[in-house]
Structures are given as C-alpha cells and as structure tokens.
Amino acid sequence: MTSTENMMAKMGHEQEENLGENAEGIMDAIQDAGNTGLTGLSSDDTTSNVPGQVNAWTVNREPATHDFKSQFIEIGLLPHNSEPKFVRGLFAYEEGVEDVYTPTNNGGGKAWVTFGTTEQAAVAAQNFDDHYIGFDSLLISAEEFEKIDFDLISYSDFRNQPKAEPTCTVKITNLPPSAPIKNIVQMIKAIGLDEKFDAEKNRVDNVEGVEIISSEGVLVHFAREHDAGLFQDCYNGLYWQNDTLRVEFRPDSEMEELVQMAVSKDSMEPFVGNIRNLTAAEVRGAGLPNTMVDVQLNAGGFAFVSLDAAAAVKLVDKYEDGFSTRTNHKTYFTPPQDREAADAFEAVEAKFDDGKQTVPPRGKAATASHPLTIHPPSKSRAFVPQDLAQEWGMKMRNFTPVQKQQEHPTIRKLHVARWGNVAPRPEVQNVAALTTPRPDAQNVAPLITRTATMSLAPQFVRVTINNLPLATGTQDIRNFFTDFTLCGAELEIKRGYAYVWLESETEAKRAVETLDKGVVRGQIVTVKL
C-alpha cells in the first residue's frame, strides 16, 4: 500500500475507491473533510460563530440578561494578582465607573466595580460577562454584587510589609496633594478612630500628631500601636481618590524629630522634679493626652519638658497635688520659672475661663525669676506656711491678669517660703537681693548649690539609633558605642530605636561617620544626629 493509500484509508476511503489519475481525487476528500465543522488555524473568517474561532474582546455568545438592583458588579477569572489600576483600564470606555476594588492577595483574579447608577452597572455587566480579554483570550465573568459596609477594601500591588515591626507611626503616600490632612481625617473616621475630633487642630483623641513631610507624604503618630496597625492593615494598597495608597510603619523617632523641629514660639518648658530612675518615656506617659515636644532628663533627678502653652497649663493644673510613679515617689510639674515665661503662662491660664475668672492658683505655681526649682525631700515640706498659701490663693482667685502680674513680689515670698531661694543662671538677673529664705529652709542649701552647678553643665549632643531589634538592651548599645564616652542622661531605649548622649558635636559627627550602617544583634542600624 502506498503512502497515499494509507492516508486515504485513515480518512475512511476504501482501497478500491477510484481517486483518479495521480490521485487527483484526494483534494476533493480533503475539501469534504472541511465541511464537517472543523476549522484550520489559517482561516481569515474572524466573524465565524464556530467555537474556538474568536479574537480578543469578542463575545462568543449572547450575555445573560441581568435584572440589576445594585450599583456594584463582581468581575471573575481575571489574571492573577490583578490590581485596581489594571481593572480600571478594562473599564476605560464604560460610563459611570466610580471605584475599583481588588482583594489583598488577588490569586483568584477577582475585582469589584462600583457605578453611579444601577443602569450603568447593568450595561457594564452585559458588556463584560463571558468576555474575552487580552492577548491570552481569557474568558471573564461579570455579575451583580451586593456591597456590604466596609468589607470591600481595595488593594493593589502594595502588600503588607513582610517582617515589618509595628510602631505607633505610619507614613502615608500617594494622598491627594490638595488636602492630605482632610483625607487622613476621612480615613480615620472610616475605621472608627474619630472620637473627640478637633477640626481646628486636625486631631483626634488617639492620634498624637500629623505632620506633612512632602507634597505626597504624611506621618501620622497614634497613641497606641494597635491603632497604627489597624490603620496600616486597612489602607495599605487601598485605591483612594484615584490613586493607590501606600501605608508603611516608620520609627517613632521620625515623628518626634519633626515635632521638635516645629516647636512654636508659644511652647513652654515646665519643670518636673523627683524623677530619679524614671525614663523619658515614663515622663511623657504622665503627660498624656498632652504631647510633650521634648523631655530633657538631667542627672540630678529632674527634667525640663517642652510642650505648647495650653498643654502646659493643663498639665500643671492636672498634677496640682503631684502624681505617684513606679518608684513610689511623688512627682510634680511646676510652671516655667523665668519672668517672661511665667507671665505668658498666667495669660494662657486666664483664657481658660473666657475672661471671667482666672484658674485657681496651685501651691507650686511659683513665678519668681528662677531658672529651675528642686523639690526638697518630703520632710522639708513641713515649713510650708499653710496660712500664707490659703491667704494668697483666696486673694489671687479674683485677680485679673494685670493684678496677678503686680503681685509677683507676693508670689516670690510664697515660693521662697516653700522651697527656699534658688541660684539663677548667669543670664538671669540675680534675685537673691529681692528675697530672703526662711531660717528653716536652710537645710536645702546644699541641694540648691548642686542644682546651680548642674545648670552650668555643658550641653551634650544627642544621637539617634534607628532600626534596632526589639530585644536590644542597654549593654548592646554600650558595646556598640565602645569607642565613645556616653554622658548626660541615661540611655533611652524605645521600641525600634534609642537615644544616647555624647560629650560634643565633634564626637557625635564621628559616631555617625563610623557607626552608621553598623550591626546590633545581627541587624543593620542607622545612626544620625
């Protein structure tokens, strides 16, 4: 049997069948086979209704009818990990598209599209149900979908950061440049974190700070790490206002440094004493919900804190009777001690009562021109003349701010009677001639002398170490700075970063040059001023 006869036999022709001279009849047989419903790859009939013979974007059957009652449609069988931007491109010629949503990990290729009206949604569903898209001719589906509250979180290529250590600070990028703070407020409200919102200050109860760091980036510092994690989980990759948001955790030190650089002229520096063995974080915690701009610990067991004037008044008033710490000691906040700051402090106090009545004075609200105050031991408080304090308090209760300023000599007498005279800094006029300490206050003289000496101590330079492992301890930091002399306040280690103090700016710059990108407990850290 020849090869031609073999081929014809496979096509169903008998061996005896006459195919003509030189087998011309084979062409008729092949053409007859083409009428059985089979098609070849070279066919140019792009309008054929034969299954398998369609191009991209061609519907292979009439779409199912939809009785729509919703403005949302669900798209299925999309390419894996499809993003909102890709889906929006598919609907570029559809009318009424308002928003596009995709799952966090879109392995199943799903998306949800919202429209302005149910009619527009119905038209889009008809156009895309059983539709072929792309060069791979993927068949997708479209059907009605009922939106449920906030379940449709839209994500794109931004995924949750792998191994990202949660902090209280997040950075949001790709926000609308025209009103980033307004958008932050809307986002916070959407997830229920908008209690006690202050529109004037763009602030909510559990958000401690919002700072715009560029045309597209905003830092938000939450009071609790849990709230920051919730915000990041909800909005990282969210399609918001025609762009995809990115929300990432940032070291809390970034927000602190921004706030310190933005200290207003109205900021004040109340003094806090008796904080030996306490950390700056614990001092900050005592002031919540008021945010302290800075906390400068000193070796003598006291600190200067910086915060805005209104918060300073609230803080001093709140702790009129002091507060207990984990060291079982009473700690007090006192107003600024220089004359100018004291006057400003009293002016803010007066505003709290709408001009009707000033805030009742506190026993420790001294306004003498002293640079700082050291609270003596508790037994030395026995000399406080309660009758003088009560008399002064009753008088000042009905004074106007101007009258209160005129009463500074009386305030000085009360202050010296309670705490003794304090040596001023060189730049402050000596007030020793104006006041004379009581004889029973002489027992605090050594303490006052030591305090005056400390006030003339050199100013140390603070260095920040970022990206620290959570298990980092004091000894790890000391080993890291083994070639440097750490001085000033004790090491301050926080979650993911730490502060150390060096003796000069030259040493601080040398530390940045030699230690930046170093390794602590197997993790690369950054060092900066």
Look at 216-225, 309-318, 375-384 and tell me which has the smallest mean pLDDT. 375-384
211 has pLDDT over 80: no
pLDDT tens digits for 271-316? Answer: 566 566 667 667 766 665 555 656 666 655 666 666 666 667 777 7
Q: Which residue has the higher pLDDT, 346 or 138?
A: 138
- The pLDDT score that the predictor gives to residue 251 is 84
Please name the CATH architecture into which domain 169-250 falls: 2-Layer Sandwich (3.30)
> What is the structure's pLDDT at 526?
85
pLDDT, residue 269, reads 56
Percentage of residues in the chain having pLDDT higher than 70: 40
Q: What is the pTM of this model?
A: 0.31
C-alpha distances (whole Å) from 332 to each of 287, 296, 364, 442 are: 11, 16, 8, 22
525 by DSSP, 3-state: which? coil
Q: Is the pLDDT of residue 230 over 70?
A: yes
Mean pLDDT score of the chain: 63
CB 32 within 8 A of CB 17: no
Q: Helix (H, G, I), strand (E, B), or coil: what is residue 453?
A: helix
How would residue 114 be classed by pLDDT, with cut points 50, 70 and 90?
Answer: confident
Highest mean pLDDT among 6-10, 268-272, 311-315, 335-339: 311-315
pLDDT at residue 59, rounded to an integer: 40
Domain range list for the chain: 3-36, 46-153, 169-250, 267-455, 461-528
Q: Which one, of 381, 372, 268, 267, lies nearest residue 322 by Cα?
A: 381
The pLDDT of residue 369:
28
- What distance in Å separates the CA atoms of residue 448 and residue 432, rounded to the nearest whole number? 13
Give 52's Cβ-side CA count (13 Å radius).
Answer: 7
Element (H, E) at 118: helix 118-128
Cβ contact 222:237 at 8 Å: no
Q: Is the pLDDT of residue 318 over 60?
A: yes
pLDDT, residue 514, reads 84
- Residue 383's nearest CA partner among 417, 410, 413, 412 is 417
More confident residue, 342 or 101: 101
What local confidence, expressed as pLDDT, does residue 495 receive? 73
Q: Identify the band that residue 400 occupies on the pLDDT scale cut at 50, 70 and 90.
A: low
- 262 secondary structure, DSSP code: T
User: Does 172 score more than 60 pLDDT?
Assistant: yes
Predicted confidence (pLDDT) per residue in 65-83, tens digit = 556 678 888 888 887 767 7
- Is the distance from CB of 113 to CB of 78 less than 8 angstroms? no
DSSP, res 382: G
Q: CA-to-CA distance for 405 and 349, rounded, in angstroms?
A: 13
Taking a C-beta distance cutoff of 8 angstroms, is the pair 260, 120 a contact?
A: no
| CATH class for the region spanning 46-153 | alpha beta
Q: Is the pLDDT of residue 91 over 60?
A: yes
Mean pLDDT for the stretch of residues 215-236: 81
pLDDT of 481 > 70? The answer is: yes
Q: How far apart are CA 218 and CA 181, in angstroms?
A: 8
Q: Is the confidence at residue 101, as pLDDT, over 70?
A: yes
Q: Do 169-250 and 46-153 fall under one CATH topology?
A: yes
Do residues 41 and 60 lie in contact, with contact meaning Cβ atoms separated by under 8 Å? no
Strands (E), 46-130: 72-76, 97-101, 111-115
Query: Residue 197, CB half-sphere, CA atoms under 13 Å: how many?
Result: 14
Task: State the Cα–Cα distance between residues 224 and 168, nearest whole angstrom.
Answer: 6
Lowest mean pLDDT among 78-92, 118-132, 258-272, 301-315: 258-272
CB contact set of 280 (below 8 Å; sequence gap of 6+): 295, 297, 303, 489, 492, 499
| pLDDT reading at 444 higher than 70 | no
Instruction: Give CA separation, 413 vs 323, 329, 386, 421, 452, in Å.
Output: 25, 27, 13, 10, 20
pLDDT band at 437 (very low <50, low <70, confident <90, very high): very low
- pLDDT level of residue 146 (50, 70, 90 thresholds): confident
Second CATH level (architecture) for the domain 267-455: 2-Layer Sandwich (3.30)
Q: Which of 30-44, 194-208, 329-343 is predicted least confidently? A: 30-44
Q: What is the pLDDT of residue 24?
A: 54
Q: What's the average model confidence in pLDDT over 436-450?
A: 42
Residue 168 banded pLDDT, cuts 50, 70, 90: confident
Neighbours of 221 (CB within 10 A): 22
Residue 163 in this model has a pLDDT that exceeds 60: no
Phi/psi-derived region of residue 443, left when phi > 0, alpha when psi is between -120 and 50, beta in every other case: alpha
DSSP-derived 3-state class of residue 489: coil
**155 vs 191: which has the higher pLDDT:** 191
Architecture of domain 461-528: 2-Layer Sandwich (3.30)
Average pLDDT rounded to a whole number, residues 171-199: 74
Summarize pLDDT for 32-59 with one digit per residue, the tens.
Answer: 444 433 333 333 333 333 333 333 333 4
Least confident of 94-108, 417-431, 512-526: 417-431
